[in-house]
Amino acid sequence: MSTAPKIRREVTRDGQTVRYVNSFCTACSYWHAFEWSVEKAYAQGERHLINVHGIEPNLAMSARLKAAERAKTQTTNHEIERQS
């Protein structure tokens, strides 16, 4: 049983500001990508998974959706802490 390829992202920040994002595919030693924002890097990785590896779009989007949910939860937790 093989696992589906994943996109690994390395985000370079200047404090809180994202400067750029490098992305790498776990199944393709040759594929890498560069973007100026995390959102664009997720979209680029999703296109790679769909077009090169035949991953269903809903599965390719799962990493981005999980990250968005994590960010939403963190924001909510910070708001609760400020109200305490």
Q: What is the rounded CA–CA span in Å between residue 81 and residue 49? A: 38
Q: Which of 68, 69, 48 is nearest to 60 (CA)?
A: 48
Global confidence as pTM: 0.78
Q: What is the rounded CA–CA span in Å between residue 29 and residue 48? A: 13
Sheet holding 32-35, edge to edge: 7-14, 17-25, 32-35
pLDDT at site 16? 87
Q: What is the pLDDT of residues 37-49, one digit of tens each?
A: 999 999 999 999 9
Residue 84 has pLDDT above 60, yes or no: yes
Spans of all domains in the chain: 7-83
Amino acid of residue 61: M
